[in-house]
Structure 1
Amino acid sequence: MKLAILEPLGVAKENLLAMAEKAVNGRMEVVYYDTRAEDTPTLIERSRDADVIVLSNFQYRREVMEHCPNLKLVCVAFTGIDHVDIAYCRERGITVCNCAGYSTVAVADLVFGLVIALARNILPCDQAVRAGGTKAGLIGFELEGKKFGVVGTGAIGLRTARIAQAFGCEVYAYSRTQKNLPGITYVDLDTLLSTCDIVSLHVPQTSETIGLISAEKLALMKPTAILINTARGPIVDSTALAEALKSGRIAGAGIDVFEKEPPIPSDHPLFGAPHLVATPHVAFASQQAMEKRAVIVCDNIAAWLDGKPRNVIV
């Protein structure tokens, strides 16, 4: 059998290969590609003979997999799996597993990096001091006492909620599955949006969540509120968010994810909006998270080879 690691995974090549060889324990040939390629012909060539492939967050669709007769396992080195053709995997009986949990700490950390950048006007302050300016017009607000809304209370949402509590925030949550957690008040989405000073999104991208934060939902938010999205870009209507920022309907937004992976075109509607802090889908990408992810990938493959697959999505 053959294992194809289709791209680097953020750890040293020699370390990853050593971990992979230990995981397969002589049961598979390991092939590693040290460049990331997303075009269909290259993906077909790299995947063609593989029984197991490893990839992170690029599109992996039917038009590639139908050329891979041996393919049995797609190991996604990521939490979300919406970029993989799940329907085709079900049709073929291809197992799909993910790396849930590797980026929980990293993503929650960036949420508060974005929150504080907006709350304390860090980017405008930087520009002002470099230009010989002062704090005039740049007085921000404290998090203590603010109402903090978490949309989606999976692992990342819950860690975000706990950190918000540590800052002294009053935490509200909206989620498909409610949990009995101290200090967290579950409400419907409209109530959360109209109540909270900070709203942080932590839901997966599904047919139900695409466009979840629409113009109508943004209109419910306080004019002093800020929105944070480290989940998936299509969950928010970017054009509507840009208009909300321009009109002052909301006070600011921290955005790590867009409708496509970076590089993002310079004419993206959000880049013309004020009070926006944007990052290039980096929330998951701490060095520690990359190391955790590599461990989970190799554990997933070893478990599958042992007939006890884990982190199975399909």
Structure 2
Amino acid sequence: MKIVIFNPQSSFSSELQKKLSSLGKVTYTKTREELPLQKLLEMAKGSDIIGVDPDPLGGFEKAKEKLTKIMESVPNLKGVCLSSTSFGWVDLVWCKKHKIPVSNVPGYSKESVAEQSIAFLLGSAKRIFISDRRTQKGKYELMRGFELKGKTLGVIGLGNIGSRVAELGIGIGMNVIAYNRSPKKMKGVKMVSLNQLLKESDAISLNTTHEESNNNMIGKAEIAKMKKGVIIVNTVDRELVDENAMAQALKSRKVDTYVYEGEDLVHTPLAKLEMR
């Protein structure tokens, strides 16, 4: 069996390397940096299994198109293994049509992502990010933030990471409510409908798995239901949010702060907004 991994060997422990080697011949990329598509196609030629990280493909926003081209070039492909929790950067419709199983890492960086979500929330509430930007420009201004204790945190998606975000939210004294697509219970967390969460939350953390079916799940209609001055933290995927609607909400201050992750910070209506 030929296994090609778009990730350097150094990313794997010696134990994992041994396990992979026991399955067949394994080829790794030499770096996590973006590689030309032609190089990726050459590496994938004749492979049975592809293990893939988005970085060598140019990041999440380029990975989907490149990965599809790679899979199309491998006639005997038996499976694709992702190094992420999200399936959002894979053409699952194509994979299903061609009967290619795709696996992910459900608990990947659970603590790290959850802590980052809370850090973004604290940084927004305490005006750390905007104060830093203004101070760097020599525009010091005393800014008043607000306490999160007693405020309501709405967690959308109560999986491994979302559950940990909820725990950390409880730890800093927030009232935590959550929405999950499938029924779920968690101590200290009130399960509500998505509509109720949007209406009651002072801060919202997006932790649901991204799929094409929930693209723009936060749009103009959803934002209209939210409290004025809500903070939204999105550590999942930009496609969960309608960025045109979000830009308008930030301009009107319906949304106080929106934190998102993405490599392309130019081709988005959010890039045109000035820090206030």
Is this a same-fold pair by TM over 0.5? yes
Asked if 1:47 corresponds to 2:44, the answer is yes
Distance 2:260 2:178 in 1: 20
1:33-44 matched pairs, under 5 angstroms: 33-35=29-31, 36-37=33-34, 40-44=37-41
Which residue matches 1:295?
A: none
Residue 271 (structure 1) shift: 2.0
Aligned partner letter, 1:99 = V
Q: Secondary structure at the match of 1:208?
A: helix
| Structure 2 counterpart of 1:30, from 21, 26, 31 | 26
Q: Deviations over 1:186-216 (max 9, x none)?
A: 2221221111100111112223311111111
Which residue matches 1:291?
A: none
Asked if 1:155 corresponds to 2:160, the answer is yes
Asked if 1:144 corresponds to 2:145, the answer is no
Q: Secondary structure at the match of 1:213?
A: coil
Distance 1:68 1:40 in 2: 14
Distance 2:201 2:99 in 1: 44
> Do the aligned residues in 2 keep the contact of 1:51 with 1:73 (CA within 8 Å)?
yes
Which residue matches 1:7?
A: 7
Identity of aligned residues (%): 30
Distance 1:218 1:270 in 2: 16
Which residue matches 1:214?
A: 219
Distance 2:27 2:233 in 1: 39
| Structure 1 counterpart of 2:140, from 133, 138, 149 | 133
Residue 274 (structure 1) shift: 4.9
Work out the number of aligned pairs and report it. 265
Distance 2:189 2:154 in 1: 9
Distance 2:201 2:274 in 1: 21
Residue 4 (structure 1) shift: 1.0
Q: Evaluate the alpha carbon distance shift between residue 170 and residue 27 of structure 1 in structure 2; reply closer, same or farther with a 3 A threshold.
A: closer
Asked if 1:238 corresponds to 2:235, the answer is no
> Do the aligned residues in 2 keep the contact of 1:203 with 1:209 (CA within 8 Å)?
no
Q: Secondary structure at the match of 1:145?
A: coil
Aligned partner letter, 2:88 = D
Q: Secondary structure at the match of 2:214?
A: coil
| Structure 1 unmatched runs, 5+ | 277-314
Which residue matches 1:63?
A: 69
Q: Secondary structure at the match of 2:259?
A: strand
Distance 1:115 1:162 in 2: 14
Which residue matches 2:60?
A: none
> Do the aligned residues in 2 keep the contact of 1:37 with 1:43 (CA within 8 Å)?
no
Q: Evaluate the alpha carbon distance shift between residue 17 and residue 163 of structure 1 in structure 2; reply closer, same or farther with a 3 A threshold.
A: closer
Aligned partner letter, 2:2 = K
Which residue matches 1:95?
A: 101
Aligned partner letter, 1:270 = L
> Do the aligned residues in 2 keep the contact of 1:239 with 1:269 (CA within 8 Å)?
yes
Which residue matches 1:264?
A: 265
Residue 97 (structure 1) shift: 1.3
Which residue matches 1:181?
A: 186
| Structure 2 unmatched runs, 5+ | 55-62
RCO greater where, 1 or 2, for CA within 8 Å and sep 6 or more?
Answer: 1
Aligned partner letter, 1:124 = I
| Structure 1 counterpart of 2:12, from 12, 16, 20 | 16
Aligned partner letter, 1:220 = K
Which residue matches 1:167?
A: 172
Distance 1:132 1:208 in 2: 43
Residue 275 (structure 1) shift: 5.7
Distance 1:156 1:221 in 2: 23
| Structure 2 counterpart of 1:79, from 53, 78, 85 | 85
The TM-score, its normalising length taken from structure 2, stands at: 0.86
> Do the aligned residues in 2 keep the contact of 1:214 with 1:237 (CA within 8 Å)?
yes
> For structure 1, which segment, 37-46 or 93-102, has the greater mean C-alpha deviation from structure 2 after superposition?
37-46
Q: Deviations over 1:150-200 (max 9, x none)?
A: 111111111111100001001111111132222211222122111110011
1:113-124 matched pairs, under 5 angstroms: 113-124=119-130
